[in-house]
């Protein structure tokens, strides 16, 4: 039986980023930049006002006594014009004059400061300065933000909202990125029907492709939910081969046990390497991983039980997606929490027990209410997982967690 670390190491050793593509910056949020974006022009590109006020020469509003509010002698200047943001008409400021300016407006020639509205009497024809300004006050100079030749966004950076704005500010409509990995999800099982049909005796809805497709999107993948692959082995092979052509990651559920699983694995072994192992974890001990097709696409075989499939996806598949996205830490955030109910775990296997994470209002300590385990609430119930916001991690050598014990907990809440 493999340990969780051994299985995860074998999987992540095959992680790869998709080939870079150039996309619109509006679609780039959260993706890994694949180029150094070099600014070709300064930002700002012209001297502009950083605030609503009056463009002045600082020397004209110093007064005679000094520059502090207590010492400043009020100075009144004529207002000889107004400049709005986006104005194309240059103005020239003469000594002892002021021009009303709006935020982002080009500064008149010879002006070297902006007197804020709140530092004035807000006069329209004549303005009285109530405080002094120094040269450069409330002025954005050419290249203050970015100079030509500066790297606006570096290769390897995960593009944030601010960087999308910066790309727009330097005039880039498209950017080279590592795209979201494409993931296909297939269910196999004679008992399965899609949710738009009424199940007959012995039939159940195909839960897994819907749940795992959502988990893949939550992790950051571009997901294609194939649905149920049924029919003769040749037909199943055709479906899988069709997805290998257009995927960087393939997830197949319901093909790890029984005679049907053996048949599917024989089909998969004809397309590449596939290895089904027992991993020292529960739920989801029996699982498979391999590389299929000419491009050696990472392929996962997950249990048919929805809870087990989702837990295996969380532990094994999600990190591969996060690595492909260039995330520095592909694993969920973990915290220490105090259990408020007992948990029984399977000897020799790492327990991944769903739970509800809370925080004590008085002490700020994390508390966790486990929902199941080897005993108590049944591990296969999907409703319990839907209520969970975390997984309680029970080490391989621990079989019993008592109320009050400190345990590691993995957040299931979505993070970028």
Structural domain includes residue 416: no
Same domain, yes or no: 227 and 310: yes
Same domain, yes or no: 273 and 309: yes
Structural domain includes residue 157: yes
pTM over 0.85: no
Same domain, yes or no: 122 and 212: no
Same domain, yes or no: 270 and 314: yes
pLDDT in tens, the chain (416 residues): 899 999 999 999 998 888 899 999 999 998 999 999 999 999 899 999 999 999 999 999 875 444 544 456 678 999 999 999 988 888 899 999 999 999 999 999 999 999 999 999 999 999 999 989 999 999 999 998 889 999 999 998 989 999 999 999 999 999 999 999 999 999 998 889 999 988 888 888 999 999 999 999 999 999 999 999 887 888 889 999 999 999 999 999 987 766 667 888 888 999 999 998 899 999 999 999 999 999 999 999 999 999 999 999 999 999 999 998 888 778 888 999 999 999 888 999 999 999 999 999 989 999 999 986 544 445 555 665 677 899 999 999 999 999 999 999 998 865 44
Q: How far is CA 27 from the centre of its chain?
A: 13
For residue 62, the model assigns a pLDDT of 74
Give the separation between CA 134 and CA 60, rounded to whole angstroms.
Answer: 10
For residue 416, the model assigns a pLDDT of 40
How many other β-carbons are positioned within 10 Å of the β-carbon of residue 244? 20
Same domain, yes or no: 194 and 276: yes
Closest alpha carbon to 276 in 295, 296, 254: 254
For residue 16, the model assigns a pLDDT of 83
Same domain, yes or no: 105 and 189: no
Same domain, yes or no: 134 and 188: no
Domain that holds residue 88: 48-140
Query: Which residue, of 325, 342, 359, is where some domain finishes?
Result: 325
Same domain, yes or no: 60 and 31: no
Structural domain includes residue 146: no
**Number of compact structural domains in the chain:** 4
Same domain, yes or no: 125 and 172: no
Structural domain includes residue 255: yes
Same domain, yes or no: 338 and 308: no
CATH number at residue 295: 3.40.980.10
For residue 414, the model assigns a pLDDT of 56
Structural domain includes residue 145: no
Same domain, yes or no: 197 and 314: yes
Q: If DSSP states are collapsed to H, E and C, what string results for the chain?
A: CECHHHHHHHHHCCCCCCCCEEEEHHHCCCCEECCCEECCCCECCCCEECCCEEEECHHHHCCCCCCCCCCCCCEEEEEEEEECCCCCCCCECCCCCEEEECCCCECCECCCEEEEHHHECCCCCEEEECCCCCCCCCEECCCCCECCCCEEECCCCECCHHHHHHHHHCCCCEEEEECCCEEEEEECCCCEECCCCCCCCCCEECCHHHHHHHHHHHHCCEEEEEEECCCCHHHHHHHHHHHHHCCCEEEEECCCCHHHHHHHHHHHHCCEEEEEEEECEECCCEEEEEEECCCCEEEEEECCCHHHHHHHHHHHHHHHHHHHCCCCCCCCCEEEEEECCCEECCCCCEEEEEEEEEECCCCCCEEEEECCCCCCCCCCCHHHHHHCCEEEEECCCCCEECCCCEEEEEECCCCC
Same domain, yes or no: 307 and 206: yes
């Amino acid at each position: 039986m493999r340990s969780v670390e051994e299985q995860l190491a074998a999987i992540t050793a095959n992680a790869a980023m998709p080939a870079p593509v150039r996309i619109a910056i509006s679609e780039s949020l959260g993706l890994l930049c694949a180029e150094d974006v070099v600014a070709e022009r300064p930002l700002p590109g012209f001297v502009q006002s950083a605030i609503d006020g009056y463009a002045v020469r600082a020397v004209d509003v110093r007064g005679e006594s000094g520059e502090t509010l207590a010492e400043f002698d009020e100075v009144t200047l004529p207002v000889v014009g107004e400049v709005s943001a986006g104005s194309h008409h240059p103005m020239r400021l003469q000594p002892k004059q002021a021009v009303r300016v709006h935020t982002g407006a080009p500064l008149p020639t010879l002006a070297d400061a902006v007197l804020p509205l709140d530092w004035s009497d807000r006069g329209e024809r004549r303005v009285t300065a109530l405080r002094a300004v120094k040269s450069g006050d409330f002025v954005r100079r050419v290249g203050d933000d970015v100079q030509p030749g500066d790297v606006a966004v570096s290769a390897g950076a995960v593009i944030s909202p601010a960087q999308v704005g910066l790309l727009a500010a330097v005039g880039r409509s498209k950017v080279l990125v590592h795209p979201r990995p494409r993931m296909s999800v297939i269910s196999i099982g004679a008992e399965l029907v899609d949710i738009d049909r009424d199940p007959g005796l012995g039939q159940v809805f195909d839960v897994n492709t819907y749940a795992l497709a959502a988990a893949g999107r939550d992790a950051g993948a571009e997901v294609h939910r194939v649905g149920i692959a049924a029919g003769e082995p040749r037909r199943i092979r055709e479906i899988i081969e069709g997805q290998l052509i257009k995927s960087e990651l393939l997830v197949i559920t319901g093909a790890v046990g029984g005679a049907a699983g053996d048949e599917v694995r024989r089909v998969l072994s004809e397309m590449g390497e596939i290895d089904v192992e027992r991993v020292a974890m529960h739920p989801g001990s029996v699982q498979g991983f391999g590389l299929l097709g000419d491009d050696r696409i990472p392929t996962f075989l997950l249990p048919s039980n929805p809870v087990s499939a989702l837990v295996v996806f969380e532990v094994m598949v999600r990190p591969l997606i996060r690595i492909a996205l260039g995330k520095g830490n592909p694993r969920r955030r973990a915290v220490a929490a105090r259990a408020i109910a007992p948990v029984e775990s399977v000897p020799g296997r790492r327990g991944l027990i769903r739970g509800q994470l809370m925080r004590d209002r008085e002490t700020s300590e994390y508390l966790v209410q486990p929902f199941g385990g080897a005993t108590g609430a049944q591990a296969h119930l999907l409703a319990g997982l839907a209520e969970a916001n975390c997984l309680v991690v029970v080490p391989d050598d621990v079989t019993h967690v008592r109320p009050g014990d400190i345990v590691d907990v993995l957040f299931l809440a979505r993070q970028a």
